[in-house]
Amino acid sequence: MKYTRLPGNLVIVGFGSIGQGVLPLILRHIDLDPARIIVVTAEERGRTEAESYGIRFVIEPLTRDNYRAVLEPLLGAGDFLLNLSVDVSSVALIAFAQERGALYLDTCIEPWAGGYTDPSLTPSQRSNYALRESALALRKTCVGGPTAVLTHGANPGLVSHFVKQALLNIAGDAADDAPVPSSRAGWAALARQLGVKVIHIAERDTQVAAVAKRVGEFVNTWSIDGFVGEGCQPAELGWGTHERHFPEDGRIHDFGSGAAIYLERPGAGTRVRTWTPLEGPFHGFLVTHSESISIADYYTVANGHGVEYRPTVHYAYHPCDDAVLSLHELAGKSWQLQPEKRLMMDEITSGIDELGVLLMGHAKGAYWYGSRLSIEQARALVPFNNATSLQVTAAVLAGMIWGIENPHAGLVEPDDMDHRRCLEIAGPYLGDVVGAYSDWTPLESRGVLFPESLDPACPWQFKNFRVL
């Protein structure tokens, strides 16, 4: 089924697991001659897959000095710049796409190479909060211009649409007669009315491979460079108005929206308690993601005197078990990446990626809504994908189609988009999309073996979620 037509060229920057995985989806659902697709990438990986479709493949790493010269002959008005790269500035490419009259989409806001770990920058300056603020600063110059969709992968991206649907489900189950919101203020009012205090992006990846992780090797089911980069950034979370215990290692930013804080420790070294329906309770890593900030910001209710309501929002991620071992080894080597890297794909033998949003503090306690996608389902649906990558590539496809259908929206985040349309497009590739209520709280069975300093009066305090 073709959803829409792209009349111009498609320039794909970066062609790792997500670029390779989204290509068959693009050709399946967007009316586009493969001869008008150009891949610009830093390495040979993926050439066979691209050229099997008759797509031009250019190896040219983009830098501050050459990106304009490389892209200018390829990108013009009516074209689409799909940024799936690492180490290439999203802000630079957004501004360039606007100048050229081209549509744009990325899956995260990337700095130039070294930006995540630049010792000359403060933790605040190299945070996702700062990267988001730098991108949003372009918004005024993008008004009415070509649509530029920020951070539309699985998360950030798809999970913002899950939050809206989860809110509607909770309201419906509570026989709440509130209408479907039609504005940002309306969505924030609904979350406040329902009493949502905390939102986790709660994910458990159980995929396993026939080849176990080896010493000196980093193994993962999606971009290793991307995961290590964000894992080495400070842990970040949207900071809710119900919180009454500010972390000792917590810090606030002295610029921007004020919707989030950061911790003076890397996200890959920070764990939190969370819950998903199949896994039950588990410890996840509080890895920084843009959605932790954008969702908290979007659902803020404020008046002229300050913030009245905001939920605490953060990622709680348990990657595949081999990736956990890889992170343990990485931390032990003072966050210096292992000499060998392996992206798990064909060697995966079983497992699922259970990715969703966990909304807590409302009348029914906790509600998880999201995707359960197995490796068997992923392989049957789309080539060049595992369960994790397909959740991302389906969301990339949905964001691209929404952008083509809304070509003059300027700069938008996932929270600004029509969640129903995006879920309609991505849904067939997400496996089982389900919702489940739970009476779980982070206080469950705590203090029995090892007494802790908790806040039992309000289970939804970040202090209770954090693993110390």
- Mapped onto helix, strand or coil, the DSSP state of residue 216 is coil
Tell me how many helices (H) and strands (E) the chain has. Answer: 15, 26
236 and 301 housed in the same domain: yes
Return the bridge partners of 263, or none: 250
Query: In the block, which residue shows the tokens 């090797």?
Result: 217
Indicate whether 73 belongs to any domain. Answer: yes
Contacts of 458 (CB under 8 A, 6+ apart): 242, 244
Name the token pair of 263.
């911790």
Q: State how far the Cα of 13 lies from the Cα of 19, in Å rounded to an integer.
A: 8
169 burial level (CB within 10 Å; 0-12, 13-18, 19+): middle
Mean pLDDT by 10 residues, the chain (468 residues): 96 96 98 97 94 95 98 98 97 98 97 88 94 97 96 98 97 82 96 97 98 97 94 96 97 97 97 98 98 98 93 98 98 96 97 98 98 98 97 98 98 98 98 98 77 83 96
Whether residue 433 is found in the same domain as residue 322: yes
Indicate whether 191 and 129 sit together in one domain. no
Nearest to 79 by CA among 63, 93, 59: 93
The residues near 283 (Cβ < 8 Å, ≥ 6 apart) are 271, 272, 273, 274, 318, 467
Residues in Cβ contact with 183 at an 8 Å cutoff, skipping those fewer than 6 apart:
none
Mark whether 210 and 286 lie in a shared domain: yes
Residues 286 and 145 reside in one and the same domain: no
For residues 188 and 303, give the distance between their C-alpha atoms in angstroms, rounded to a whole number. 13
**Would residue 180 count as lying in a domain?**
yes
Coil vs helix vs strand at 103: strand
Three-state DSSP class for 135? helix
In a domain, 337, yes or no: yes
Please state, in angstroms and rounded to a whole number, the distance separating the CA atoms of residues 449 and 246: 26
> Tokens 């600004």 identify what position?
416
* DSSP string covering 228-245: HHHHTSEEEEE--TT---
Look up the domain containing 70 and give its range: 4-149
Q: Are residues 189 and 325 in the same domain?
A: yes
CATH code for the domain of 34: 3.40.50.720
Close Cβ partners of 343 (under 8 Å, ≥ 6 residues apart) = 16, 17, 220, 221, 222, 223, 224
Question: How many domains does the structure of the chain reveal?
Answer: 2
> 216 with 135, same domain?
no
Q: Given the DSSP bridges, would you call strands 37-41 and 56-59 parallel, antiparallel or unpaired?
A: parallel
Answer yes or no: do 354 and 445 share one domain: yes
193 and 328 share a domain? Answer: yes
Last residue of a domain, one of 92, 123, 149: 149
* Phi–psi pair at 102, nearest 5 degrees: -110, 150
Domain presence at residue 189: yes
Cβ burial 74-113 (10 Å sphere, 16+ → b, else e): bbeeebbbbbbbbbbbbbbbbbbbbebebbbbbbbbbbbb
Question: How many CB atoms lie under 10 A from the CB of residue 290?
Answer: 28
Same domain flag for 179 and 76? no
For residues 243 and 273, membership in a common domain is answered with: yes
Paired tokens of 428: 């067939």
Are 110 and 176 contained in the same domain? Answer: no
Instruction: Tell me the CATH number at 264.
Output: 3.30.360.30
